[in-house]
Every structure is written in C-alpha cells, then in structure tokens.
C-alpha cells in the first residue's frame, strides 16, 4: 500500500518539476493536462489491476450467464405467452365475426378459444361460447355451425 502512495507522490513531483522547468508558457496548458492525466492514471491503477484480474472478471461474467435450465424456462414462458396472446387474438376476432353475422351487441356473448400445443404446432382445441342473459335470443346452433364450419373444432355453448 505504501508503494501505491509513493507512486502517486512521485508522479505529482515529476509533473510539478517538469512544469516548473519549462520556460515556454504556450505549451504549459498541454503539459499541465498531460501531468494531470498521469496523476489520475496512477490513482486509478489499482482499479485497473482489480478489473483486469482473471478471477474478478470470471465472477462478474458468471453473474450474467444463465444455465441451461433457466434458458429453457424462459423459452417455455415465451412460448406460453405467444400461445395465450394468439388465443386471445383469435377469441376477439371470432367474436367480432359472429357478432357481425348475427347482428348482436358486445354484451350478448363472450368467446374463449382454447389452444393446445403439440409437437411445436399450436392448434385450436375447442371454442367456448358464453351466452349472457342479454343474448338469450341467439340461436346456439347457429353459433355452433359457424364455429365448426370456420374452425373445424368442438364448440361448447354455456349459458351464464
């Protein structure tokens, strides 16, 4: 530790000596900048040594590296998010199509598209249609036929 402070003191002394011996005032600002940079570098030298130390950099890198299980978990979360977002989009789109077909309002029914993933492929397993009291006049067979013609999957009608 005493070598560290001795190095800083020697850098300051040599810089001061060079600046005092220089008779030309036009180059003094540049040399003052150079001497200041040398002092700063001598102060920061332990930090550079610490950062460039192999064990420190390995420890730092290990914090940011994920193991294989974590990567697989993130991939699974990402895929599940895509599936649920796709199901939600399909539900909204199908509801709008049926609403236009039957000329009903938004509050008459809700649709849930249930998706399933198999072998990397995502497909629609079934469609659940919840008919609300304001939509009791809707013929459920019309909705079932529309869903089966359009999507070729099971359609479950629920009154609720």
Using CA atoms, how far apart are residues 81 and 54, in angstroms rounded to an integer?
A: 40
Strands 121-131 and 154-159: parallel
User: How wide is the angle at C-alpha 36 spanned by C-alphas 32 and 41, nearest 5°?
Assistant: 150
> For the whole prediction, is pTM greater than 0.75?
no
pLDDT tens track for 94-146: 888 888 888 888 788 899 888 887 777 778 888 999 988 888 888 888 888 88
Q: For residues 130 and 113, what is the distance between their CA atoms, to the nearest angstrom?
A: 11
Strands (E), the chain: 109-118, 121-131, 154-159
Lowest-confidence segment of 34-38, 42-46, 95-99 by average pLDDT: 42-46
* pLDDT over 70 at 51, yes or no: no
Residue 140: strand, helix, or coil:
helix
CA separation for the pair 46, 1 (Å, rounded): 10
pLDDT in tens, 73-87: 777 777 778 778 888
CA distances from 116 to 85, 124, 155 (A): 13, 6, 15
């Amino acid at each position: 530790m005493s070598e560290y402070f001795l190095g800083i003191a020697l850098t300051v002394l040599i810089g001061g000596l060079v600046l005092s011996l220089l008779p030309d005032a036009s180059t003094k600002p540049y040399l003052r900048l150079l001497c200041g940079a040398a002092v700063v570098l001598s102060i920061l030298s332990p930090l550079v040594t610490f950062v460039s130390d192999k064990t420190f950099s390995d420890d730092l890198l290990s914090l940011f590296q994920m193991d294989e299980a974590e990567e697989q978990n993130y991939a699974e979360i990402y895929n599940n998010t895509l599936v649920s977002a796709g199901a939600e989009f399909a539900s909204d789109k199908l509801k709008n199509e049926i609403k236009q077909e039957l000329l009903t309002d938004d509050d008459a029914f809700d649709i849930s598209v249930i998706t399933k993933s198999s072998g990397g492929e995502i497909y629609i397993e079934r469609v659940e249609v919840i008919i609300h009291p304001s939509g009791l006049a809707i013929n459920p067979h019309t909705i079932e036929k529309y869903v089966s013609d359009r999507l070729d999957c099971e359609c479950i009608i629920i009154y609720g």
